Amino acid sequence: MKDLKEALSSGRKPDITHARTPLLVYVARGCEYGDSTQGGKYIRANYLRPTEDLKADFLRYRAYLRAVVSHASQILDSLELHQAMDPDLTDVEGMKVAAYAKDVDAAPGCTVGASRLPHACGLAASINMVITQAVNAGLIPADPGQPWRKVEAKKEPELTEYERSILGFLVDREYTPYNRIRSQFKGIYYKVFDNVLLDLWAKELVNRSYSDDSDSVIFSPTQKALDLGL
C-alpha cells in the first residue's frame, strides 16, 4: 500500500537512473566544445547567467529550442540524403556516416574550428540548456511529476427533488434513526453520505411505509452503503 501511495503521489522523486550514459556523454562533449570558444557565446555555463526579466528568459528559451531543431534537422537531412542514394538501405558504413551527421560549422569565436562531432552532441547539449535555463527562470517546473498517474476526483451525484425533500424532512424532524446512522459516518462528508444513502432510501420509501420510531427504515439502505465501502 505504501508503494502504491508513493507511485500515485506527485511528490515522488524521479528515478534519474533512466538517464543513460550515452546521453550524458553526448551532452558533455557538446558542452566541452562550446567551452572552447574562449569567451564566445557558448562558454561554459553562460546559460545559467540571469537575465533582466522573464521576457528575456522567454526569448532565450525559444533561441535554445531553435538550436535543438537546427541540430535535429541536420541529422534528418543527412539521413534523407543517404537514403536518396541508398533507397534499400544496404550500405552499412554509409548509414553509419549519415547517422553520425558530422557538424562542420564552427561556433562563433571558436579558435579550434568546427567540432566535427555528431550533430547529436549539439542536440543533446542544447536540450540540456533549454531545460536547465527554463527551469531556473521559472518557465517550466523543476519536476513535472507524474500527471498521468493522478486520479480525477469523482463528481458527486446530484440529489433529486424527491431525495432533497426526504433529507429536509428528516433534518427538520431530527429523525432519530437517520441521525444515529448518519453519525456512524463521521469520517465522510455528509453530502456524499446523503447522496448515496438517500438514493437507496428513497427507492425503499416508494414501496414501503414505516413509523417514525422504526429502526428498520434505514437498516437495508445503510447496509448497502456499508457494502459500498462507505
User: What is the domain extent for residue 186?
Assistant: 161-227
Map residue 13 onto helix, strand or coil: coil
Q: How far is CA 225 from CA 163, 183, 219, in A?
A: 16, 14, 10
Give the model's pLDDT for residue 46: 83
7 shares its domain with 61: yes
How far apart CA 222 and CA 219 sit, in angstroms, is: 5
How far apart CA 7 and CA 1 sit, in angstroms, is: 10
Residue 35 placed within a domain: yes
| pTM for this entry | 0.60
196 shares its domain with 107: no
Residue 45 placed within a domain: yes
Is residue 107 within 8 A of residue 34, CB to CB? The reply is yes
29 shares its domain with 143: yes
Give the model's pLDDT for residue 148: 84
pLDDT tier at 44 (50, 70, 90 boundaries)?
confident
How far apart CA 214 and CA 202 sit, in angstroms, is: 16
Is residue 115 within 8 A of residue 121, CB to CB? The reply is yes
Give the model's pLDDT for residue 152: 62
What is the amino acid identity at position 40?
G
130-171 pLDDT, tens digit per residue, is 999 999 999 999 999 988 886 665 565 566 676 666 666 555
